[in-house]
Amino acid sequence: MNTKIFDEVTEIIAGILEVDKNMINGETAIGDIESWDSLHHLRIISSVEHKYGFRFTPDILLDLEDVEDIVNATEEQIK
Amino acid sequence: MKPIVEQVIENSRSNPDKIAVCDGKSAISFAELAGMILSAKETLVSSYHIAKGDAIIIAADKQLEFVGVYFACHLIGAIALPIAPDTNEKRYDAIKDRAHPVLTVGFYDGQIPEADFSEFAERKRIADHSGIVYPSLDDVADIMFTTGTTGEPKGVQLTHRNIAAAARNINAFVQNEAEDVEMIALPVSHSFGIGRMRCALSNGQTVIMLGSFANVKRFFGFIERYHVTGFGMVPASWALLKRMSGMKINEYKEQLHYIEIGSAPMPTEEKQGLMDALPNTRICMHYGLTEASRSAFMEFHECADRLTTVGKQTPNMTISIKDENGIDLPNGVEGEICVAGDAVTVGYLNISKEKSFWDMYFRTGDWGVRDDDGFITLKSRKKELINVGGKKVSPMEVEAVLMDFDFVEDCACVGIPDPEGILGEVVKAYLVTQEPDKADWGEMDRRIGERLESYKHPAEYAVVNEIPKTSSGKVQRLLLK
């Protein structure tokens, strides 16, 4: 997992969920944190897409289960 | 009619071993759920001296113990106040001020006694139910706090009759059966989510608790694993499912018997898309309020040519379109949608019924018109609440935070269509300021920070010379839309 992207993505997630960045690790699953509901998830996805300038396709989005998945999918998109 | 808690305990006698609730990690049968409710009642009475009429704040978290504590409150005749586990401090304090709870479960309070959910995990079967005394149908069961037009939470009092009648009416329309398996991905702190839980459990159905719709992979995983046949969602959930999974839901077209949709308007093309994906599913959309349960319903396939309406009045509910003097208006004439029936609230906590009722009819504050076939079309929302993906945002609450910044001279917030087409509406803020460079979205979002839940943060800002107001100084938000 790319450390720089991991840091940037966790920062986005922590900012949107309004939680401490240290609460988030690679295994934190989508929905594990109370405020990580569908509205916040959409904001997280949009913010990641906006930051790196691409758009996830539904088949990639459907496979996302945790933070590590989001980081890896992002890394794959910007290769 | 019997209180919901009585129906749930009765289900434990007729179907003791059937799974009642599963949260994905563990599951309990109806007999174990009844045992959990009875044990939780004992703990509340013996350790916390809870008595009839006492109010208890409960963190409405999707765990088995929440279900046990919630119904234990009902069994005692105490009043449950289920609120979101991430409720902000200001709202929590406002709710406390109004309801004077004697106990909080799942929150750190520091002023009133606190209990932890772990104290209510006991689930031993208790076979003898002969000594159970059930609450009266006219006792208040829940107080649900809504976002009023002033931004101050208003407590909607719902009696056992109200919630039992609501479940009866909804089940009659949706036609869910005891064999159905319901997944609850909606928050149970809101009337829609907790209402679905009551509908399913009183009906003897198995309930599968899912954290939220956000984890779409888990959502579909649960549909597969637990053979889910029905669920409730808001239009934003469908937008999310579509965005994240395309039309994958079509793979379950034979499995899904019903879906209930509500809490926000849904574009007609979205309705049509869902109908195409699920041609054999009862897709039921309600128009409703916490105060008046589901007041109107429609099933998409049955009403395919009336998708722009909110359907007809729900079974056992009566809708009247009234003028500003409370006089019934004929079909075709626009007026205020007013609702009567035994699912309608007995009134707000500590607020006179005078302004919110015309006799037995609750005044929704929504404007609409009924046609000769009984279909009701919603015309406008008199209240200026902003509907962000089903969550109501008071413009005044957001404005109060913005006005705290010294460079903001005046402001007003309105709902605008979400440019992403996902949430229905998002908040747009109009600011009067001499320092327009500070009205940048990123900068403002950072300043607002935790003072507002993130869905209340404005998505757009605009700087204007002045905020339109009436001669009496009332902000004319509709002119900004």
pLDDT tens digits for range B59-115 = 998 889 999 999 999 999 999 999 988 888 888 999 999 999 999 999 999 899 999
In A, minimum Cα distance to B213 occurs at: A38
Structural contact between residues B164 and B137, judged by C-beta atoms closer than 8 angstroms? yes
Helices then strands, each counted (H, E), chain B? 11, 26
pLDDT confidence tier of residue B149, bands split at 50, 70 and 90: very low
Structural contact between residues B368 and B289, judged by C-beta atoms closer than 8 angstroms? no
Structural contact between residues B170 and B164, judged by C-beta atoms closer than 8 angstroms? no
The residue among A19, A30, A34, A37 with the most chain B CBs within 10 A of its CB, best to mutate, is A37
So what's the pLDDT on residue B167?
A: 98
Residues of A in contact with B236 (CB under 8 A): 38-39, 42
CA–CA separation, B237 and A74 (whole Å): 23
- What secondary structure letter does DSSP report for B98? H
The one-letter amino acid at B456? K
**How many CA atoms lie within 13 Å of B220's alpha carbon, on the beta-carbon side?**
20
So what's the pLDDT on residue B468?
A: 82
So what's the pLDDT on residue B244?
A: 87
Residue B472 has pLDDT above 60, yes or no: no
DSSP string, B235-293: HHHHHHHHHHHTTGGGGGTTT--EEEE-SS---HHHHHHHHHH-TTSEEEEEEEEGGGE
Interface membership of A29 toward B (CB under 8 Å): yes
pLDDT tens digits for range B381-438 = 666 778 888 887 878 789 888 988 989 988 999 999 988 878 889 999 999 998 899 8
Question: From the list A34, A58, A62, which residue is nearest B86 (CB)?
Answer: A34
**The domain spanning residue A24 has which CATH number?**
1.10.1200.10
pLDDT tens digits for range B276-326 = 999 999 999 999 999 999 999 999 999 999 998 999 999 999 999 998 899
Interface of A with B in 50-79 (CB under 8 A): 58-59, 61-65
> In terms of residue numbers, what domain contains A60?
3-78
Stretch B222-230: mean pLDDT, rounded? Answer: 97
Distances (CA, A) of B406 to B72, B141, B188, B401, B444: 49, 44, 38, 11, 13
Structural contact between residues B57 and B104, judged by C-beta atoms closer than 8 angstroms? yes
pLDDT higher at B9 or A63: B9
Cα–Cα–Cα angle for B212, B349, B320, rounded to 5 degrees: 80
pLDDT tens digits for range B351-389 = 998 889 999 999 998 888 999 999 999 875 666 778 888
So what's the pLDDT on residue B367?
A: 81
Question: From the list B220, B240, B450, which residue is nearest A42 (CB)?
Answer: B240
The residue among A13, A23, A39, A59 with the most chain B CBs within 10 A of its CB, best to mutate, is A39
Secondary structure of residue B457 in the 3-state scheme: coil
pLDDT tens digits for range B239-274 = 888 888 889 999 999 999 999 998 777 878 889 999
Q: Which domains does chain B have, with CATH numbers?
A: 4-369 (3.40.50.12780), 386-480 (3.30.300.30)
So what's the pLDDT on residue B471?
A: 47
- What secondary structure letter does DSSP report for B41? H
Interface membership of A9 toward B (CB under 8 Å): no
Interface membership of B26 toward A (CB under 8 Å): no
The residue among B217, B427, B446 with the most chain A CBs within 10 A of its CB, best to mutate, is B217
Quick one: tokens of A27? 């295994």
Across the interface, whether the CB atoms of B217 and A62 are under 8 A apart is answered yes
Whole-model pTM: value is 0.82
- Residue with the two structure tokens 């933070």: A67
Distances (CA, A) of B119 to A50, B68, B101, B283: 45, 11, 19, 39
